[in-house]
Amino acid sequence: MFTIEQIQAAHSYVKSGADFPAYIKDLIRLGVTGYETYTRDGHSVYAGNDGFRIESAAIYDPLKVSEQSNKSQFQDDLKANQTGKTDFITFCNDSARSGIEKWVVDTAAMTCTYYDKAGNEVLVEKIQIP
């Protein structure tokens, strides 16, 4: 099984969304089958085989997540992050402002799905690994 320290080591190479595909590749190598990251405080819950689950601590002070999602603004902010124009913390602040409560990565389906506070899918992205 994997540890939070191993995941943090892999995440330490992530400077922006441009580094996300390599991060996912590293997580797959560790045995992570998926994870959920919560915009409110940046904590994540990681899943592995046989029901293994491990949770990270909050990584920043709580943010207020907007009650109303703004898909258009979120897509603009996501694109900025994926092209390296913003860092992870900026992306989290932008996501909170756009009403994104969490994102869920499924390493089998190779998707990242963003949800609003009501649990509605706001956006589903296919993860492309070079």
Q: Contact, 80 vs 95, CB < 8 A?
A: no
Q: In the predicted model, what is the mean pLDDT of residues 9-26?
A: 86
Identify the CA nearest to 44 among candidates 88, 82, 76, 84.
88
Residue 16 has pLDDT above 80, yes or no: no
> Model confidence over 89-130: pLDDT tens digits?
999 999 999 999 999 999 999 999 999 999 999 999 999 887
3-state secondary structure 31-52: CCCEEEEECCCCCEEEECHHHC
What pLDDT is stored for residue 54 in this prediction?
Answer: 97
What pLDDT is stored for residue 49 in this prediction?
Answer: 95
What pLDDT is stored for residue 128 in this prediction?
Answer: 87
What pLDDT is stored for residue 88 in this prediction?
Answer: 87
pTM summary value: 0.90
| Residue range 4-126, CATH number | 3.30.1810.10
Find tokens 């590293």 and name the residue.
Answer: 26
> Model confidence over 35-66: pLDDT tens digits?
999 999 999 999 999 999 999 999 999 999 99
The CA–CA distances, whole Å, from 39 to 29, 35, 70, 102, 129 equal: 25, 13, 15, 5, 24
How far is Cα 105 from Cα 93, in angstroms, rounded to an integer? 19
